[in-house]
Structure formats: structure tokens, C-alpha cells
Amino acid sequence: MRAVGAVLLWLVSSWGCVYAAGNGEAVAPAQPPTIVLGGDASVSLNRQSVYWADALGQRLIDQVEAGANAVPWRLRTRDQQSWPAGGSLWVMFEATVPRGERWYLETGAAIHDNLQFFHRDRSGAWVVQQAGTDMPSAIWSVPGRLPTFQLASDDPAPIRYWLRVDDAQTEFVSPLRLVRSDKLRSQREAEQFLFGAYFGLALLVFCASFAHGVTYRDKAFLAFALYIVLLASGQLGRAGVGAQHFWPEWLAWNGTLLSLWPGAAMAAGLWFVKVVTDPARLSRRLDLGVWALIAALLAATALHLVLRGHNSLNLVVALTGLALVAVLCMVVWGWNEGRERHLALVALGFAPLVLLALFPLARTFGLLPPSLLTRYGLFFGAALQLPILYYALNIRLMARREGELRASALSRSDALTGLPHLQALVERLDTSLAHARGQKQQLGLMAVRISNLDAIAEEFGAEYAERALVVAASHLRRVIVDFDMAARVGEREFALLLEAPVTPQLATSRAQQVVASGLRQVEALPAALTLKFHVAVALLPEPQLDGAASLRWVMEGLDQLTPDTRKLIRPLNF
């Protein structure tokens, strides 16, 4: 957390300096330096191009070209420029393309409404290329994931190029690069592989989370599945993959997804963390504050969906940052209070997303040069986040299931001995009797009583009487095998269910083992103190007797054995 805070503090301080410097970029001449291509396979236009914001957005390319010397061009030093609502951004540069090579201008963002690229051919006529979210990517001048435009080829003379950007959000955030055709092709093949792996992982984690949520009725898994859907959908839209492959003709849908990002995904993520951490058990105010922040995020996202302006986007981004702080607070607070392992993993899951998202943010404000992390940091962070969060939810689910099973076992077990109680035995006995009747086999049922328990209590006290019950339960567990069952059915009475098939000889042998086990000395009881067991045993099923009736019959047989009876084992029907 200290490291994250230090990085955030550095970025905020650096952002202020760079942003101020960016707003005060020096006025540049209308004649930018000529870019001589042919060396590196990729060239950035930063510091090699100029830009100008047309406040009214009414000038056409002929007017801009004619008045180029009177326009206050500024040197483009970073990947972000703003202009008034309703205006246009113009970017100008000059380049020479070697013969036999093809070069392209690639914009690094697929989120802008309309982009037009101009240059004059040898005859002096304008060559116009178009791209942007206002039209299907299939009809772009160069179809693909990102708006891309081809430079003039087989003309070694310097050519001036003009890029016009129209966007309702009045902010252009995109690196501009000149890329050779072979580099562009290999880069896009690698991108397709990476995007396929990432979105395949997201789909897999979503399916598993949704299945777990439905199967176990776990709200945390369902919230996580919703978070994955909104996160991946927004990334599909912003990366241009959705418009290229999944909804190429659904322009309205693509625009909606772009407007929902990042507010809807962050609201779902905040709800997911709220379900996992349950802040209401820590602070009622914190819980209400989280609900209020979720509502504010959704309201701001809805507002941006309608307005699609720069101010509404800034509001969504500000609330998203506040939501991220709330996520970290809930996770750290919840972990400090409960020390639950899954909360530490949830915090670990959000850490790579936060840290790697700082790289594209720093690149936007000119703090870092272009790199793989600055282009795809958010995707790498999410790819690391999803499996960690899924693992954390599985640990949480196993802990909850274990607690539920223990609670269920306690409701069906004797608190002192840990053996199933009377009702559990009767239910099991009914099932076993039905099976035995169907297979035409016999099962065994033994009733066992500690006949000297009162004497133990009088001589050694109630504590040793309870110990005697625990020791008796331990002896009976050792006697049963496989699917047999031992249960406590009275104050000093136990029952053993011997699953079919059982013979008279086997039933008698088990009864003798029970009696012999009580005669062994154990460390939990005083020296020379042994347990005296009386046993009544029967072979079932008996005609017209269900489980409860069969148990009563065997218990009545046990009652016929008095404490002074020398015969410790009484067969009832064999």
C-alpha cells in the first residue's frame, strides 16, 4: 500500500507539471520538420508534427491548407490534446516514403468518432481516407482494429499530410505512429493472439464464476461474473476488437459500450468487493457510503451515456478513482478486522490492475515513452487480476461450505461424543431397511448401554462420567467398518447399524468386540476403571417394522438386561 501511494503521489505531481507544460506547448511554424522514413520500422509523430484546434469545426481541408501560415500551430509533444465542444483537431506533418515501401499512419485508440486523413496526389487532387466509430470498421480506408491510413507510396518527394479528428468528447488521447507495412502486419498478428488469449481467459473465468454462483447461490460469484462481463465488454469496445469482429454493424451498441466504460465496470467491481468484504459488519456508515458511491457512479455513467461530453467523462473518471480508493479501503479494513485469507488475495488481485494501469496513464501525460506496457498495461493487469480473484472466491466458498457443513453436522450430531443423534440414525435406518428388503438381505442393529455409568459418576464424579461416554463413542467408532453407523440414542445408550449383508455369526462377533473394547484400560479414565457394556442385537428387517419401530424393539430388548445380568449380549431373533 505504501508503494502504491508513493507511485500515485509521483504521478499526480508529475501530471501537474506535464499537464501545465502541455497546455503551454510552444507555438510552432506552419512548416513542420520533414520525416525521412526508411530507417526504423516505426516512428512516433511526437515532436515531429503540429496541431491546431478549430474551435468551430467548420473549416474544410482547402481552407485549412490555404490559411496554414496564419494558424497558431503548436508542436505535438504528447498523446493528449483537447479542443472546445463542437470543434475539430487538426494534426499536420510531412514525410517522405522510400520507393518500394508502404507506410501507414496508425492511431493508437479506437474510441474517436470520426477521423479524416488528407494528402494531395501527383495531380494535385485530394486523397481522402476515413475511419472512426461513426462508421463500420469494414468500410474504413484500411479496415482493422485501429484507425489506420496509408501514406502515399512510390513518391520520394516530401508530402504534407493532414489529420482531422472530430469527437463529441472533445479530447484526443492517442499515440500517432508511422509504421512500415511489414511491422504493422506482424504487430497486428501478435495483437490478435494476445487479445484472443486475454478474452478467452475472461470468458473461461466468467463461465466458471457464473456456474459457481448459480450452483451454490453465491452472490459474490455472480457479482464477479457481472464485473467480468462489463470489464471485458468495455475493453472489447475500447480496443476496437468488438467493432472489428463481434458487432461490426452495431454502431449504436459500440458507442454505448464506449460510454459505459469505465463507470459501469467500476460500479460492478465495487459491488463485488462490497459483497466479499461485507462492510456493514465493520461500519454502517462505510456500507452506506459504498452504496452511495455505486449509485453516484451509475448516475454519472447514465449522464455520460446521454451527453457523451468531456465534462461528463471527467466526472465518471473522478468517481472511478474514488471507487478504487473505496475498494482498497474495504479490502484492507476487512482483512485487518478478520484476517481472512481470501481478502488478502482480493487485495492482491486488484494490485496488478492498479499498478499496470499507471503505465498507459503515464504515457498519456508524456511521463513514459511508448512501450508494450503503456499500450496494453490495463489488459495485462486484468489478465493477472481475474485468476487471482477467482482463486480468492474459491477459497472463500470452501471456507463457507466447510462452516455450513460443520453447522449441519452439529445439528445432526451429539455435542459431547460427536456421534449422530437419534433422528439421524432413524433416517439412515429407514433407507437401509428399504435397501435390504430390495436386495433380500439382512442388516444388523445393536443397542449398547454403559451399565456401570451411575457407579462411575458416584465414585469419580460427573466429569469422569462424561469422559466415559466419550471413550465409549471412541470404542464404537473402532468397531464399525465401511458404511456402518454408530449413534448416541439416549443418556447412556448407543446404537450400531451394521449394513447388509450381515450374518448371525458376524453380528455376534461385532457384539463381542463391543463388550471387549469396554474392558480395555484407557488413559482418559482412572486406572482399573473399565466400561461394562450390555448389548442387544437383532437382524433386520422384521415384517411391518420401520426404522423407528425397529429401534424401539431393540431398545426394549436391551431393557431386559439389568445391571447385574451376567449375560452381556442378548440376541433377539437368532
pLDDT at position 348: 82
> With 80 as the cut, is the pLDDT of residue 19 above it?
no
What is the pLDDT at residue 277? 85
C-alpha cell of 302?
447514465
**C-alpha–C-alpha distance, residues 1 and 279, integer Å:** 20
Is residue 227 within 8 Å of residue 268, measured between CB atoms?
yes
pLDDT at 74: 93
- Look at 268-277, 360-369, 371-380, 388-397 and tell me which has the smallest mean pLDDT: 360-369
- Comparing C-alpha atoms, which of 107, 372, 389, 344 is closest to residue 231? 389
**Position 83 confidence tier, pLDDT thresholds 50, 70, 90:** confident
Pairwise CA distance, residues 60 & 500, whole Å? 93
- Distance of CA 234 to CAs 44, 65, 229, 273, 545, Å? 27, 38, 8, 19, 66
Condensed to tens digits (0 to 9), the pLDDT of residues 102-133 reads 999 999 889 899 999 999 998 999 999 999 99
Position 14 confidence tier, pLDDT thresholds 50, 70, 90: very low
The whole-number pLDDT of residue 443 equals 95
Percent of the chain exceeding pLDDT 90 equals 54
The predicted model gives 228-236 an average pLDDT of: 93
Average pLDDT of the residues in 372-397: 86
Quick one: average pLDDT of 296-303?
A: 94
CB 61 within 8 A of CB 126: yes
pLDDT tens profile 150-198: 999 877 889 999 999 998 877 888 889 999 999 999 999 998 998 999 9
pLDDT digit string, tens, across residues 139-151: 999 999 999 999 9
Q: Are 456 and 522 in contact (CB under 8 A)?
A: no
- Picking from 542, 541, 543, 517, the residue whose alpha carbon sits closest to that of residue 531 is 517
Quick one: pLDDT at residue 486? 94
Average pLDDT score, the chain: 86
Name the percent of the chain lying above pLDDT 70.
91
pLDDT over threshold 90, residue 28? no
Query: Is residue 243's pLDDT more than 70?
Result: yes
pLDDT on residue 2: 45
Beta-bridged to residue 116, according to DSSP, are 130, 164
Rg (CA), the chain: 38
pTM of the predicted model, to two decimals?
0.70
Q: Look at residue 227 in the predicted model and tell me its pLDDT.
A: 95
- 285 vs 104, which has greater pLDDT? 104
- Give the residue-averaged pLDDT of 55-77: 92
pLDDT the model gives residue 29: 63
Domains of the chain: 26-181 (2.60.40.2380), 184-410 (1.20.1070), 422-571 (3.30.70.270)
How confident is the model over 438-482, as pLDDT tens digits? Answer: 999 999 999 999 999 999 999 889 999 999 999 999 999 999 988
What 3-state DSSP class applies to 401?
Answer: helix
Q: Per-residue confidence at 501, pLDDT binned at 50, 70, 90?
A: very high
What are the DSSP calls for 481-545, one per residue? -TT-EEEE-SSSEEEEEEPSS--HHHHHHHHHHHHHHHTS--TTS-TT----EEEEEEEEPPTT-
